[in-house]
Amino acid sequence: MKKGFTVHWNGPPARCVGQPHSRCESFFRAVKAFHMSPRPGIPNGWSDIAYSFGMCPHGIPMVGRGWNKNQFANGKDVVGVNNGPDSQWFSIIVFLGEGERPTPAMVSGVQALIREGRQSGRCAAEVKPHKDWKVKSCPGDEFTFLCRQWDGRPVDGGGVVIPPAPTGPRVLRMGHNGADVKDLQVKLTKLGFPLVADGQFGAATDKAVRAFQKQFGMGVDGAVGPITWAAINLRVWSSAPAPTPPPAPKPTPYPTLRVGASGQMVKVAQLRLAWHGLKLAVDGKFGPSTKANVVTFQKAKRLTADGVVGPATWVELWKD
């Protein structure tokens, strides 16, 4: 029996809300085609869409890998077991993305699927947003809220309330006060327009906003709407210290070469033997003559004279 369900969204807008259901079907087909197509690191794509199920805004479930196959959407970075989260959970993708809100039919459809999984004994009662494991935004604020409501509890009946849509940031201008003004002042200060972060949009803040807008070739009006906010945030983020780069990969060790080996690295070894004064053909083929020369070299360097170019022999070969 699986532990429960993980809920996902599309990330980018799915553009199914308010559209005819045929649009939902083509969306699901497109996701499936994407998952099955070759991508970097996944030469042949996946065998099927990653999700167990899909749920459209009309409340119509779509079967991906279904009840009987392991899904492939949760990632492998948990519990230290390959495919752990994939094999222990069903997954549902709701046809939503940034800026799109769930419909009541969609919410009931997801409830119905979870209920069916539990009642049929296919899974326990856990319900998790994908962000608990991996993708920070998935499956959006509303379904994250709903997952918290449903996790380990009945999904039937009342008590489930879709939270109100978050209101967008207001357009800030002179005379406004508040935390958003303070945020603006802190960010402008970081960008070289020093301000007192007092949360009061006065003449000094107005002047700084206008200077920022002028410097970055924007319309100069002293008002901070979506475009000015985006420009400020972009520059604050891009001026943030870069994340620590991953450690450099270890250089590939030189291969161990012995009789029968051939290729570029054999040639390199032969060139180094020749450089050390031995007379041999530099042909990239490790035959008896190369072996004899390696033995001579190893004896001269007081190495184990086995005729095999291993790590210790490579070190000596590279010395001047």
Closer by beta carbon to Zn ion, 135 or else 204: 135
**Residues in 136-175 at the binding interface with Zn ion, rule: CB under 5 A:** 138
Sheet with 2-8: strands ordered across: 61-63, 53-55, 89-94, 2-8, 123-129
Binding segment (CB under 5 A) for Zn ion, from list 134-142, 151-159, 255-263, 271-279 = 134-142
Query: How many residues of this chain interact with Zn ion, rule: CB under 5 A?
Result: 9
> With 0-12 CB in 10 A as exposed, 13-18 as middle and 19+ as buried, what is 231?
middle
Q: Taking CB under 5 A as the rule, which mask of x and - marks residues 57-76 in contact with Zn ion?
A: -x-x----------------
- Please report how close the Cβ of residue 181 comes to Zn ion at its closest, in angstroms: 35
Q: What is the DSSP letter of 172?
A: B
Member of 36, 78, 105, 135 binding Zn ion (CB under 5 A):
135
Closer by beta carbon to Zn ion, 145 or else 254: 145
- Please report how close the Cβ of residue 29 comes to Zn ion at its closest, in angstroms: 13
- Nearest CA-CA partner of 308 in 299, 295, 318, 317: 295
Which SS3 state, helix, strand or coil, does residue 131 take? helix
- Assess contact for 24 and 57: CB atoms under 8 A: yes
Which run of H or E residues covers position 227?
A: helix 226-239
Give φ, ψ of 41 to 5 degrees.
Answer: 85, -10
- ∠ CA 85-122-26, rounded to 5°: 70
Closer by beta carbon to Zn ion, 85 or else 222: 85
Closer by beta carbon to Zn ion, 56 or else 172: 56
Q: Would you report the helix, strand and coil content of the chain in percent, each value rounded to 5?
A: 40, 10, 50
- Cα gap 110→115, rounded to integer Å: 9
Member of 7, 14, 17, 24 binding Zn ion (CB under 5 A):
24
Does the footprint of Zn ion cover residue 50 (CB under 5 A)? no
- Please report how close the Cβ of residue 290 comes to Zn ion at its closest, in angstroms: 55
Does the footprint of Zn ion cover residue 56 (CB under 5 A)? yes
- Please report how close the Cβ of residue 168 comes to Zn ion at its closest, in angstroms: 24
Q: Taking CB under 5 A as the rule, which mask of x and - marks residues 248-277 in contact with Zn ion?
A: ------------------------------
Q: Give me the residues that bind Zn ion (CB under 5 A), please.
A: 8, 21, 24, 56, 58, 60, 130, 135, 138
